[in-house]
Structure 1
Amino acid sequence: MPGRERRSDAVANRDRIVEVARAELSESNGAVADLKLHRVAKAAGVGQGTLYRHFPTREHLLAEVYRHELTQLVDAVAPLLAEHAPLRALTGWLQRLIEYVRVKRGVMAAIEASAWHDLHADQGHRLDEALEALLDAGRASGELRAEVDAADVLLLLGALARIPEAEWDARAHTAVTVIVDGLRPR
C-alpha cells in the first residue's frame, strides 16, 4: 500500500531504536532516568511517533533492551566455545555478563515489579542454559570443578547486585575474576 512503511523498514527502525537505547543506557551506567526518549528517537533517525508506535511506554522499550541484551549474551556462548578453551570462553562470557548486569540493574529499577517478574520468568531460563553449556564444557575439559553447577555460579554472581554504582567499574571485573578462580579445580 502506498505511503505505508515497508515491514523491513519497520523492523530496521525498531532495531535502531533498541540499539540506541541500549547504548544510551550503557553510556549512562544504566541510569534509566538519563534515558530521554526524544533523544533516542532522534539518534535512531526516527520520529517520536515511530518510537511510540513500537514502544508505547518507556517500560516497553526497556523490556526490549533487556531482551536484546540477554539474546546477545546467550548467543555469544557457541562462538566463544568454538574459538576458545572452555575456561577462557567462560571468563569472556562472564566479562560480557558485567555489561548485561549493568543494563539489567537500570531496567529493574525502572520497570514495575510485576512486569519485571513476567519478563524474567519468560526469559530467565535462557541465561541458566547458556551458563550451564559453558560449565559443561569446562567440566568435560577438566578446567572447572565437577561439583559446581549454574545455580552455584548464579548465586555468586548475585554479589554484582551489591556493588555500588560508583564502584562498579573498579569492582565488577574483580568479582568475576574471583568467581572464575573459585571454579578451577583444587
Structure 2
Amino acid sequence: MTDAPYDEEKNPTWKLLLHTTEGATYQVARAAYVNGGFSPHVTVGPDPNQVDQVHCWQHVSFAYRATALADDPGGIRTNRDYVLQVEIVGFCDPNWSSSPLYIHNWPLWYQQGVAAVLNDMLTARPIPRVSTVTWVEYPASYGERAPQRLKWKAYDAYSGILGHEHAPENSHGDPGDVSAFLRTYLLT
C-alpha cells in the first residue's frame, strides 16, 4: 500500500509496535485498511483455511514505513521513525472478554503462532527483545494523555517492543496489557 521511506537517521533505533485489530477476522481488518488508506507491515491472525493455525499477511515491505499510526503533517512523524508495525487480529476491549481472541483468552496455538511471527519481525531488523514501557489495560490505556504514552523524544529514542498505546500523537489504547505474553514468548 505504500513505498514511502523512513526518515533518514544516522543511528536509527528500531521498534516493534503492536496493534490489535479490534475485529475477529483478517477480512474485517483488511477492509478497514483499504477504506482508511492505512496499513501495518503485517497482519497476523487465524488462518481462514486451517483450523488452529496462524497466518501472516504482509502489506508493506520492511524496507519501507507502514502507515497504521496517526502521523499528522507537521507533527510527530510516528510512522517514519524506524518502527515495524503488526496488527494482531483480536481484541483488547473487555467488552469482548468472552471471545477467544480477547488478548487474555488467546488459545495456546494462537499465542505460539503470533509469537513466531513477532520473533521473525524482531530478527528482520535490529530490534532488542526488551520492553521498558508500561503496558496498561484498555480502556485506561486510551487517550492522547494516557500516562503510559511516550513523549516524542522518548518515542524517537526507544528501541524495543511497544504498543499503539505508547505512540505519541495517537489516542488508541491497543493492544492493552500484553506484558505476560511478551515475557513468555519474546523478551530476553
Question: TM class by shorter-chain length?
Answer: 0.3 to 0.5
| Normalised TM-score (structure 1) | 0.35
User: Which is strand-richer, 1 or 2?
Assistant: 2
**Which one has a larger percent helix, Structure 1 or Structure 2?**
1
Larger radius of gyration: 1
Greater length-normalized contact order (CA 8 Å, ≥ 6 residues apart): 2
